[in-house]
Structure 1
């Protein structure tokens, strides 16, 4: 019986031994580093953002801290229920926009000019996401705006926004950003980048998050040792 078990056990352990040996002897290349960074970022771009656009997040985007008194004015004028309905619908529109914007992010990641990929891999943290943000972040936000505008039109949110904000215009004048599509495109973009950061940290620190052979090869070692 023991003789029969030994070949089976050997056959089971051989792939593991080979895999560990392969990773141990692997030398990181610029090509693999570049491909792994793109794979990691695309994985994050596909993440679900349901629940990310809370009322607090939406209100913070619409009314920055410096203009928070404007929000108090709207509540004083008895517009609280209208604001609640508006933000709930706006949250739904933002979630839809995030889903529709995934191809935009993936395309931006695929076409990103990536230099010194090995340094980005070795830097750790959220360096890959930071690189994407600094290199194509503004272009991604610009590309998201028409998608956001489409969602606003579907729910007739611009009309609701104009009605709600009308009483506050006289108080703050041009200090208030009235471009709802631009505001929300910025929020959607930021939430998507936050999800990319979370995914990058998970891939770098949690073996279970390295779901492909390439991610395992590139991010399973501390290359600074």
Structure 2
């Protein structure tokens, strides 16, 4: 009883919006009702959230860590950085559209090569998740799980992705292609010279794309019961739904 009262007080202090207060009441009622008869335990909640995250990660990584995973997906396709948009336009006006297209394709190929490394990093972060983390996700915003992964993995993802992307850009000749593109552009009279850090740019865009896909999977699990593919997912998220 003391544990239940303490949990209720802590949650009440941290959640202030009307919507959050309603959700607090639902979760507190669920906690009081189900832990007493063994239907839903702290372990159930934590494991349910971990299952949801693992499911989202598996699907998200599979979608992007393959040929055209970035290039043919308009939601995450890596476009040229702002300072190179004018480069692309100028090259096309000069009849070098194929060179510009090749540079764009190779950036996306590098992101696809790196994306597979995200799975292990995500899984390790999920293993470290506490019950408090799980409750925060369950009662948090609709993308709370994705935000948790961003907080706990972004630095490591960048460290892992950056050298892979650099190596990929070198291996597929992207660095050479972009060097040619930038050199030719900088030779055009009366233009402002550019020299962007493409490895850093592609690394950040690859991370953005991967997190976007994870978020879409999280939203699907929260919104549509058909995406809750295990008994535990159905059990935990049906309680969130107030069913």
On whether the aligned pair clears a TM of 0.5, the verdict is yes
- Residue 159 (structure 1) aligned with residue 171 (structure 2): no
Equivalent residue, structure 1, for 2:221: 203
- Residue 187 (structure 1) aligned with residue 205 (structure 2): yes
Q: What SS is found at the alignment partner of 1:214?
A: helix
Q: Is the 8 A contact 2:137 2:144 kept in 1?
A: yes
- Residue 34 (structure 1) aligned with residue 46 (structure 2): yes
Q: Is the 8 A contact 2:170 2:176 kept in 1?
A: no
For residue 67 of structure 1, report the CA deviation from its aligned partner. 5.2
For residue 173 of structure 1, report the CA deviation from its aligned partner. 4.1
- Residue 44 (structure 1) aligned with residue 62 (structure 2): no
Q: Is the 8 A contact 1:149 1:181 kept in 2?
A: yes
What's the C-alpha RMSD, in Å, of the aligned pairs? Answer: 3.1
Equivalent residue, structure 1, for 2:88: 71
Q: Is the 8 A contact 2:111 2:206 kept in 1?
A: yes
Check 1:145–1:80 CA distance in 2 against 1; reply closer, same or farther (3 A cut): same
Q: Is the 8 A contact 2:43 2:131 kept in 1?
A: no
Name which of 129, 132, 140 aligns with 2:146.
129
Check 1:212–1:125 CA distance in 2 against 1; reply closer, same or farther (3 A cut): same
Equivalent residue, structure 2, for 1:13: none
- Residue 109 (structure 1) aligned with residue 126 (structure 2): yes
What TM-score do the two structures reach when normalised by structure 1? 0.72
CA distance in 2, matches of 1:96, 1:88: 12
Unaligned residue ranges in structure 1 (runs of 5+): 1-24
Equivalent residue, structure 2, for 1:85: 102
Over residues 46-104 of structure 1, what are the superposed CA-to-partner deviations in whole Å (9 max), with x where a residue is unaligned? 22225442377322xx322x653232222233321111123223333322322343223
Unaligned residue ranges in structure 2 (runs of 5+): 1-32
Question: How many aligned positions are there?
Answer: 198
CA distance in 2, matches of 1:67, 1:90: 13
Check 1:78–1:108 CA distance in 2 against 1; reply closer, same or farther (3 A cut): farther
Equivalent residue, structure 1, for 2:24: none
- Residue 58 (structure 1) aligned with residue 78 (structure 2): yes
What TM-score do the two structures reach when normalised by structure 2? 0.68
Name which of 196, 199, 202 aligns with 1:177.
196
Check 1:134–1:88 CA distance in 2 against 1; reply closer, same or farther (3 A cut): same
